Amino acid sequence: MAPTKQLNFITGNKNKLAEVRAILGSVIKVDNQAIEVPEIQGTIKEIATEKCRRAAEVVGGPVLTEDTALEFHALKGLPGPYIKSFLEALGHEGLNKMLDSFDTNRAEAVCTFAFCEGPGSEPILFQGRTEGAIVRPRGPTNFGWDPIFEYQGKTYAEMDKNEKNQISHRYKALAKVQDWITHGQS
């Protein structure tokens, strides 16, 4: 069963924390703890499940974790859950160049939140997806791949926080978390 008063969100990313608090803050208090847990290789769901399970063991109690993926249609879903490593190695321009020889720049932003009650419990997954396109960087470059992901004519980086928080993959996943919390499903 979901916690009723607060959630311990495991992240070291202040931008993600701010988005989660902005979206969930009206229904639950979001605390934060930065914990390093090794990430396995696998599918989005396998990675999210294992990360949450390991975080719950480290904390010894309930946790909420998040994993983000960026799937390029031309590359059959790559870089997917490995987008952070691809971005660090190639930068925004390098990610664009990966698609230069293809006919499509379509992509899907994927956010998977996982909640685990504690050690030994099976994580519950909540996923949100937003279809868009990979474009040359526009807007501030302070939040991951936001400058290259375009949704309806604007990159995530060009949107103000409220606008992004109404349409993003993270918002869609958090809406499912919020529904689960408010309706007390187990």
Check whether 145 is labelled as a binding-site residue.
yes
DSSP string, the chain: ---SSEEEEE-S-HHHHHHHHHHHTTTSEEEEE----PPPSS-HHHHHHHHHHHHHHHHTS-EEEEEEEEEEGGGTT-EETTHHHHHHHHHHHHHHHTTTTSS--EEEEEEEEEEE-STTPPPEEEEEEEEEEE-S--S--SSTTGGGEEETTEEGGGS-HHHHHHHSHHHHHHHHHHHHHHHT--
Check whether 32 is labelled as a binding-site residue.
no
Check whether 154 is labelled as a binding-site residue.
no
Check whether 141 is labelled as a binding-site residue.
no
Check whether 129 is labelled as a binding-site residue.
no
Check whether 11 is labelled as a binding-site residue.
yes
Check whether 13 is labelled as a binding-site residue.
yes
Check whether 60 is labelled as a binding-site residue.
no
Check whether 104 is labelled as a binding-site residue.
no
Check whether 39 is labelled as a binding-site residue.
yes
Check whether 160 is labelled as a binding-site residue.
no
Check whether 15 is labelled as a binding-site residue.
yes
Check whether 162 is labelled as a binding-site residue.
no
Feature table: binding site for ITP: 11-16, 51, 67-68, 143-146, 164, 169-170
Feature table: binding site: 11-16, 39, 51, 67-68, 143-146, 164, 169-170
Feature table: binding site for Mg(2+): 39, 67
